[in-house]
Every structure is written in structure tokens, then in C-alpha cells.
A and B are shown apart, each in its own frame.
Chain A
């Protein structure tokens, strides 16, 4: 069964460093998303991406964050100048369509720890 894959599963980084979280969405999906979940808290929407551009972003997704689809398969989240409060589980998701009531499938997540 097709699935969303994320790498790495764990990432430890020094405060102030840049990290890139990688995702391979399901191949025939057109909409891509990043969410994050701070330990013990709810899952929060960061950004949606369609047709090679951001279609919506939350207040969390400020200039520190960027997304890219560098080729036909990968979808990346870059976090610049990481802060302690960026420590969280980051989930990538994809769906076949955005608004036409199709399921969004999530990857297993990347646990980011900023020290």
C-alpha cells in the first residue's frame, strides 16, 4: 500500500542551525502538507502546497520556514536558525485532492530536537 515516507526519523540539531526535513508523498497525490506536534499537544497545521507553490500557511509558518518540491518526488521543509521551541514532531501529509473530500495520509514523522 502506498505510504508517505519521511526522513530522518530523528534529528538532533544545535540551536541556530538549519535543518531540512524530507518527505516523499504518495506518488499520485497533488496536495502536500506539513504539520507539527509539540510533545503532549495537538497537531498543528503549518503549510499546504499545490502546483509548486504555497496555497495556505499558518501563523506559525513565518520566514524561518520554507518548503520546496525540488524534484518530482521529494517535498522538503527547511527550518532556518532553529530555536529550542522548534523541538517537535513534524509530519508530512499528502492527499489526492485538496478540497474534494479526499483523505490526507500522514508519514511517520520526524522528531526534531533542538539543543
Chain B
């Protein structure tokens, strides 16, 4: 399977703490994209990291990619209650733009 697999499946932290979610995959990729999904809602695009990039930042988000280990991590710094959501990594490969999603990490940030 090409799919990304997130770890942990669930994470509960206090507001202000950092949250780290990991993603592993099995095949070669063009890019890896992280999405957030609030309960019952749509997928919100967070960050795209290309296969030739190692780290990317966007606000409180930091994504790393290690293609030798076929893994990526998403770090949310200084978490807020509003960050409570499910976070998915998705693998972009091939030439049609298809994304393969993992099961996601459910993050709960307690106020």
C-alpha cells in the first residue's frame, strides 16, 4: 500500500504545548501534503512539501520530510484549543495528482 500512516492515532495535550504527528509511507512520492479536518467538516490544506525539500514552515506549523526513511512529521507549536481536529498526511504520486490518505491523527487540545 502507498498510503501514509500517521502516528499516534490520538494525541491529547494541554493548550500551549507542542504537538507532533508522524507519517510514514512506502513508495516514492512527488510530494506530501498535510490536511486538517474538523469533525464532520471538509479537509483544509495545511502544507505541501516536495520530495526534494526537507523542511517547511507556515505560521505555527513545521513540516519535515525524510525521504530516506519515508517519513514526515507535522509539528504544531504553542497549540490552541482551536487546533483540536484530525490531521491527515497524504501522499502525492504519479501524474494525475491523486492523493492517498492515511488514517489520521486525532488531536485534542485542552484549554
Contact = CB atoms under 8 A, between A and B. Distances in A.
Interface of A: 31, 33, 35, 41-45, 48, 50, 55-56, 89, 91, 93, 95, 97-99, 101-109, 111
B43 A45 contact: no
Interface of B: 3, 30-31, 33, 35, 40-45, 48, 50, 88, 90, 92, 94-104
Contacts of A45: 98-101
A96 B101 CA distance: 20
Contacts of A99: 30, 94-97
B42 to A, nearest CB: 4
A38 to B, nearest CB: 12
B49 to A, nearest CB: 9
A101 B30 contact: yes
A115 B41 CA distance: 22
B41 A101 contact: no
Contacts of B97: 31, 33, 48, 95, 97-99, 102, 104
A105 B48 CA distance: 11
Given A101-B31, A104-B45, A106-B35, A42 B102 contact: yes
A99 B30 CA distance: 7
Given A101-B31, A101-B48, A43 B43 contact: yes
A19 to B, nearest CB: 19
B95 A106 contact: no
Nearest to B93: A99
B92 to A, nearest CB: 7
A50 B42 CA distance: 22
B96 A104 contact: no
Contact of A42 (B48, B94, B95, B103): B103
Q: Which of B43, B90, B95 has its CB near the most chain A CB atoms (within 10 A)?
A: B43
